[in-house]
Amino acid sequence: MRAIRQDTLGGPDVLKLVETDRPEPGPSEVLVRVHAAGVNPTDWWHRSTGGLLGDGRPVPLGWDVSGVVEAVGLGVTMYRPGDEVFGMPRLPEPAGAYAEFMTSPARHLARKPAGISHVEAAALPIAALTAWQSLVDTAGVRPGQRVLVHAAAGGVGHLAVQIAKARGAYVIGTASAAKHAFVRGLGADEVVDYRTTDFTEAVEDMDVVLDAVGGEYGPRSLEVLRPGGTLVSLTSPAEAYLAGEAEQRGLRAGFTIVEPDNGGLREIAALVESGRLRVHVDTVLPLEQAGKAHEIGETGRTQGKIVLTVV
């Protein structure tokens, strides 16, 4: 099969298209014929560093996948060959979605939402699960609460805005002025231009802040939370330090890592099928242009998601 691999850690240019052996599914696994693979910040982080669990050596890249079940391993009853599935297998362990075939634990996938393409489905899992697990599982967003989403036009942000609205929240997003119409179109009640406005002066009494920016945004976000509010940080394990500072203020804060989640994927699929969640795909490239996809992603200027097509 064709797959993207790298011999060394480094920049986008280390990604090469190679011919390699097709994997076989083990017990409780399925073999997926990949139709499309999403591209995410964790991909270029693993490409350059080896990742959270790495030993300094390259790992097969790609976790977001949408495709068709080719074969099932011993004991799998959830799927049959021919079923359309999407998901985020194995993270933070290597998965290898940048390939024509990949294996996945059966319960790290769910049935692809009806009515959308494989490209759209491949853009969903990491970003949508990150937003879902942060807003629903961690923060417990409820109707009437006030939610601030930083980088609201980004991969996670644009889905988080919609999920928070689907939960009945009043949603404020931060984004550049050029992206305000896009963010309002997602359902945001207010949008703050982070380039011209200090959000700590424009926003107050938030119940939840979702921070996909990092750096000074974390400690500054604590200033806009009301007592008992929650800050969920997504960018760096180093931001776990915010938990202590938040506790002193009567708040909650912490760093969150997204996990494979069949139940969350099914909730996301239901939102998509009901019309309450749509993913915006910024750029679509063929598998062999994975390096270019990383170059585009690392600019930090994309609106929505980048996807590689395989079939």
pLDDT digits (tens, 9 = 90+) for 139-197: 999 999 999 999 999 999 999 999 999 999 999 999 999 999 999 999 999 999 999 99
Q: Which domains does the chain have, with CATH numbers?
A: 2-124+279-309 (3.90.180.10), 127-255 (3.40.50.720)
Rounded Cα distance between 174 and 199, Å, is 8
* Residues 95-100, mean pLDDT to the nearest whole number: 98
**Encoding tokens for residue 243?**
């938990």
Question: The pTM is what?
Answer: 0.96
CB 92 within 8 A of CB 45: no
Report yes or no: 135 and 128 within 8 Å, Cβ to Cβ. Answer: no
Q: Which residues pair with 109 in a beta bridge?
A: 87
**Beta bridge partner(s), residue 210:** 149, 232
Whole-number Å distance between alpha carbons of 286 and 311: 9
Q: Would the pLDDT of 282 be above 90? A: yes
What is the Cα–Cα distance from 266 to 268, expressed in whole angstroms?
Answer: 5
Q: Which amino acid is at 16?
A: K
Q: Are 60 and 15 in contact (CB under 8 A)?
A: no
Contact between residue 164 and residue 188 where contact means Cβ atoms under 8 Å apart:
no
At 301 the pLDDT is 87
